[in-house]
Each structure stands twice: as C-alpha cells, then as structure tokens.
Amino acid sequence: MKRIFLTGASGFLGGNFCHLFAGKYEIFAVYNTHEIQNKNVHSHQLDVTKSAKLKTFFNKIKPDAVVHLAAISDPNQCQLNPSVSEVINVEVPENLAHLCAEYQIPFLFASSDLVFDGKSAPYRESDIPAPISIYGLHKAVAEQSVMDIYPQSTICRLPLMYGRTFTENRSVLQPMLTNLDSGLPLMLFTDESRTIASAHDICEGLLRCLGHQGEIFNLGGDERMSRYDFGLEVCKVFGYDKGLLIKSKQKDVGMPAPRPKDVSMSNTKAKEIGWKPASVQSGLERIKKELESKTI
C-alpha cells in the first residue's frame, strides 16, 4: 500500500481526502491544533513550521509520496498577517520540497487560482501568475520556489470548492445551507467568477496528478460561475426559494484582500490525463443524496 504523508488533514479538503482514500492508502495525516477524527488514518500532531521536527517525522515514517494541503487559505487573514502567511504558505512547502528532493519521492503542492489577476480568463497552466493579494502572491512565490528546489514536484491550482465537511472547517456550501434552511436572505457576489468544483472531484484529481511529476495542473470545474450562480444551483438541487438570494458586488462588502474578477481556469490538461469533474448540479445532487442517506 502506498504510504502518503498528508498535511492539512484537519482542513476542509484534507478531511475529504482522508474520507475518500483512507483504507485505499496508508495515510499519515498531520494536524496542528484540531485532532483528526478518522480512525482509518494515522493521525499525528505536528507543527509543520518547525523544520527540524518535520524532518524527524519524515524520516520516521518514510513516505512514498507527500500531498501538501496545509495553508492559510483565507485571503483576508493573509492580507492582515503577511509574515504569518509567508511562513505557512511559502516556507513550509519549500521545506517539504527539500525533503522530497532528498528522498526522490513524488511531492504535490496545492496552489490556487488566486495566483492570477482575473483580467485574462480562462487561465491555462502556461499563463504567468500575476497575483493581486498577499495570499495569491505567496502561492505564486511558493510555486516557483518548489519547482526550483525540486523540479519533479507536481503543482495543482485549485478553485473555489464545495462539498461535505468531515472536520471543523466548512466549504462555501455549509453557510449557504444554514441560511437557506432558516429562511434567511443570503447576499452573494455576482462579479466574482471562478470554475468551482467539488472537494470529492478535487481529491480524485490530486491523486491522478500526483503520478505526473514536474507538471502544473489546473483543477477547476467545467463551469464558470459566480457565487450567486452557485447559490441558484444550490436552491434548485436542495429545494430552497431562490428569492432568498440577494445579488451583491464585491464593493458592497469591505474586505482587506483585493479580489480578482474572474480567475476561471481551463482544465483541458487535467482532463487529458483522465480527470472527469462532475457538473455542479451533479456534484450537489450527490451531496444531497449522501446527506439524506446519512452516508458516513
């Protein structure tokens, strides 16, 4: 069984990764403060910013591959705390790249569509990053550093994601369902477009890309949509009144981090290696079915 060292396991995407692949792979999942509630993974508390401890743990478990999902992924938090963001979002992936280079094992680094400025969508893997926020800047810097340190690394740029939650961290979907279920109005942007995808499909894409070393992949979905458009799909699938959705624009909400208008990505390259993301409607229908059947 392939032994995977997974960081960020207590996050939204990491929780989905563990849920989907524990049992199929021997996953050594590390967390900082929130313990991983999955009996089928090897759960370990580890501060990945401590390079010496990281190397000791790495040498102990001797992984066959590393999937690095740990990050400060809130752009506003990064904008307000750039030094903290730099440690987590740049220095940690650099350290992991050095370790993977030493062991000559596959290393996958999860980046973001926010490395782009939103002026020339849809973006391809060959397009040059031009971030407008600290978060996007640090992801772009980390991409370049990782490839410089270990050219056999794999980089996956991820979009806005939705899905079930298996940790304390939620996706864009959960607050929507909470509001709509309570009959409360929900303000959603109409002027921020992304190629949203489900965490289920993203996780499958990550493993597929892991076997293609030295490559960059865009793991965006097939549909370019705003958060308001996504809200309409949620209402349609879950049976809520779309009249509860209120159109808004970025300027209506004061945020520390600037947001690009359209960071939709072309996923042609990922589909050429067999990745098949579901439509948003199909992805939401799968989640609805699982929730209704109480699938664990």
Domain boundaries, the chain: 3-163+197-222+264-278
Contact 172, 230 (CB under 8 A): yes
Q: What is the pTM of this model?
A: 0.96
How far is residue 15's CA from residue 164's CA, in Å, rounded to a whole number? Answer: 9
Is there a contact between 159 and 232 (Cβ–Cβ < 8 Å)?
no
**At the topology level of CATH, where does 3-163+197-222+264-278 sit?**
Rossmann fold (3.40.50)
| Distance (Å, whole) CA 150 – CA 139 | 16
pLDDT score of 1: 54
Pairing status of strand 245-248 against strand 186-189? parallel
| Residue 80 parent element (H or E) | helix 75-80
Per residue in 115-168, pLDDT tens? 999 999 999 999 999 999 999 999 999 999 999 999 999 999 999 999 999 988
Q: What's the one-letter identity of residue 101?
A: A
Please tell me the distance from the alpha carbon of residue 146 to that of residue 216, in angstroms, as a whole number: 11
The dihedral over CA atoms of 169, 175, 181, 182, expressed in degrees to the nearest 10, equals 110
Q: What is the chain's mean pLDDT, rounded?
A: 96
Q: How many CB atoms lie within 10 A of CB 173?
A: 24
Answer whether 88's CB lies under 8 Å from 107's CB: no
pLDDT tens digit string along 231-240?
Answer: 999 999 999 9
Environment class of 254 (CB within 10 Å of its CB; exposed 0-12, middle 13-18, buried 19+): exposed
Q: Which two tokens stand for residue 124?
A: 């391809």
